[in-house]
Chain A
């Protein structure tokens, strides 16, 4: 007896069909930049689901020392703040301090 595919199976079919067909047909409508962002951004974002231990193990597996990585990156962050401060550019972290752009609409 044929059963109706579950919705997850239909989803996967759609996902697979949606990704595979344009590659074969040369369809230019596929948004490759969006796909690349989804893949790399998704893989990168997944680090926030990993435990501290898993992150440190992953760093070690790349041959990196978690202490050295932390010290290096903290330095990069603090240097960036110092450099911005030295540049004399205005700090505009508050919505109200943002410049108004474009012409005003007539009242």
Chain B
């Protein structure tokens, strides 16, 4: 590809792009577009389900971010280099890991902001005090996160198997390990995980 050609990554994008891209940038953009093109219907379905699950509790988000914002932000962070796409990781797993990290960050951010709002500090809007959320110690933020976890346990309180699976997951155990510890079959664990995702969708997205 010539340098002239390399100035254009995508015709749509190039229409308003103010900067000539290097050949490496054009190559990297093409690589990501190609990876998106290779995602199957099921791959994209997985990513949508995962994104919506990760956003549990985001109806409280004042910015009203949705799973689309999460997916979009994952792409932005990949292209900007904030999250490196390792060659040994396929694109959908990379996107998932990036989304998980962003969702975790957003969740903490939202909890902090809600906590600050609830303390009646009478300092005007948060936008006037961009550093406030990072500087103030706020046990209220931890309480909001704790309430979300406790709500999950409460929802499944009548189901012993589901509670055991959630307890295991909260400690970072995964499928086969959960089967080993609880004595549940893989099918039972899979069904429980699907129920957690279903529960998460109901209280998650801002749509």
A residues contacting B by CB (< 8 A) are 8, 11-12, 15-16, 18-20, 23, 28, 30, 32-33, 35-50, 52, 55-56, 58-59, 61-62, 64, 66-67, 69-70, 72-74, 76-86, 88-95, 97-98
Counting chain B CB atoms within 10 Å of each CB, which of A38, A67, A91 scores highest? A91
With A and B bound together, what is the CA distance between A82 and B174 in angstroms? 36
Complex contact B9–A85 (CB within 8 A):
yes
CB-CB < 8 A to B36: which residues of A? Answer: 74, 77-78, 81
Q: Given that A73-B48, A93-B84 are known contacts, is A67 also in contact with B41, CB under 8 Å in the complex?
A: yes
B residues contacting A by CB (< 8 A) are 9-10, 12-19, 21, 24-25, 28-29, 31-33, 36, 39-42, 44-51, 53-54, 56, 68, 71-73, 75-76, 78-81, 84-85, 92-93, 96, 100, 103-104, 107-108, 139, 142, 145-146, 148-150, 152-153, 164, 166-175, 180-183, 190, 193-194, 196-198, 200-201
Complex contact B33–A78 (CB within 8 A):
yes
Question: What's the least CB distance linking A21 to chain B, in Å?
Answer: 12
Q: Given that A74-B44, A95-B84 are known contacts, is A90 also in contact with B150, CB under 8 Å in the complex?
A: no
Across the interface, name the chain A residue whose C-beta is closest to B83: A93
Q: Given that A52-B42, A85-B13 are known contacts, is A32 also in contact with B49, CB under 8 Å in the complex?
A: no
Complex contact B39–A45 (CB within 8 A):
no
Complex contact B68–A42 (CB within 8 A):
no
